[in-house]
Amino acid sequence: MFAKNILLFGYGNHGKFIAQGLAKDGFSVKVVESNQEYYRQAQEDGFQDAVHMDVTKDDALKALNPQDYVKLVCVMDDEHLNVFLTLSLHSLFNESYILSISDSMHTTKKLKMAGATKVIDLYEVSANRIHNILKRPVATKLLEGFVLERDGIGFKEMIITEDSFLVGMTTDEIDFSPYGVLLVGMIDEELGHAFVFITAGINHNLDCDDTIVCIGPRDKLEAFSEEIKKRERSI
């Protein structure tokens, strides 16, 4: 599994919510902020080890030891600073996984050029949603609930362990319905590291270390993820 430590740059509009969400999920988050007010806010919200520093200084960045963190997340409110920071981090620690957010088309391009591993574009996702709402309003509303709500129905990814009864079976063979969940797609390590939707129509062989993504009520998903670790299926 992942080492659960994250270095989060920025505790503004986005950083605040992301930090709190991650902390809730058991991640250890270290907040770095250049804005005095946001920094104080972070400390008040319980991120005691938050650092207040000038993120444009390479020495200060090196002192943070970013290579010890599994992911570096750049969500500074100032988009120029965010691009600069991404560039600095990439040039200093080019092995690191850098996740940045962008709030304009132009910034997305710049962030990618600056070396961000993944860029999440605020407007791209939203603009797509408008098209979806216009075309299929009900599905979009439901889907949004699946993704955003913490309870009710949601998605979950699970890694197939060596001992799982799923190893060696094909996706068509397995009947997921008794568990109350549906298989949405998987990452087949045999076919390269690409995500395949189950509806693509190819019958996949499940192997150890493949990742499957299921949809269902949260409690059933939890139960199912425990279930697939077993050698024998109980239902």
Partner 1 sequence: MNQLLLSLALYLRTSKRYKKSKNFVSDLLNNSSNPYKKYVDITIIFLIVTSVFILIYEVKHPVPEWVDNYDIYFVSFVFSIEYILRLWVYNDLSEFVTEEYHESQFLQRKFEPWSVLKIGLVEKLKYMVTPAAIIDLLAIFPAYRPLRVLRIFVLFRVLKLLRYTKSINQFVEVISNKRFELLTLLFLLFFIVMTAGIAIYVLEERLNPNIEDLFDAVYWALITISTVGYGDISPVTPEGRTISMLIIVSGIAMISFSTSVIVSAFSERLIELKENRIVEQVNKSRSFLIVCGYGQMTKMFFRQKKDALHNYIILDKSLERVETARKDGYDAIHEDASRFETLNKFNVEHAKITILCLTASDVENIYITLNAKSISRKIKVIARVNDISIISKFEYAGADHLLMPNRVVNTMVHTAITQPTMYKAVHAILTGKSLAHIDEVHIHEFHSLVGKSIKEIDFKGSKLLFIGIQREGKFMFNPSTSEHIKSYDILLVMGRHISVNYFNTLYAGDI
Residues 54-91: b if buried by 16+ CB within 10 A, e if exposed: ebeeeeebeebebeebebbbbbbbebebbbbbbbbbbe
Residue 137 lies near partner 1 (rule: CB under 8 A): yes
Q: Which of 53, 60, 81, 143 binds partner 1 (CB under 8 A)?
A: 143
Least Å distance, CB 138 to partner 1, is 5
Least Å distance, CB 185 to partner 1, is 6
Contact 93, 67 (CB under 8 A): yes
Contact 30, 7 (CB under 8 A): yes
Binding positions for partner 1, 10-69, rule CB under 8 A: 13-14, 17-18, 21-22, 25, 27
Q: Alpha-carbon distance 32 to 49, whole Å? A: 9
Least Å distance, CB 137 to partner 1, is 7
Length of the chain: 235
Binding positions for partner 1, 169-228, rule CB under 8 A: 177, 180-185, 187, 195, 197-201, 211, 213, 215-217
> Could you report how far apart the first and last alpha carbons of the chain are, in Å?
27
Residue 3 lies near partner 1 (rule: CB under 8 A): no
Q: Which of 80, 129, 230, 231 binds partner 1 (CB under 8 A)?
A: 129
Q: 144 phi and psi, to 5 degrees?
A: -60, -40
Instruction: Using alpha carbons, select from 41, 39, 78, 71 the residue that is nearest to residue 56.
Output: 78
Judged by CB under 8 A, the stretch of 46-54, 82-90, 130-138, 223-231 that binds partner 1 is 130-138
Judged by CB under 8 A, the stretch of 38-46, 51-59, 80-88, 96-104 that binds partner 1 is 96-104
- The dihedral through the CA atoms of 182, 187, 188, 194 has a sign that is positive
Residues that bind partner 1 (CB under 8 A): 6, 13-14, 17-18, 21-22, 25, 27, 71, 73, 75, 99, 101, 103-105, 118, 120, 122-134, 136-143, 147-148, 153, 155-157, 177, 180-185, 187, 195, 197-201, 211, 213, 215-217
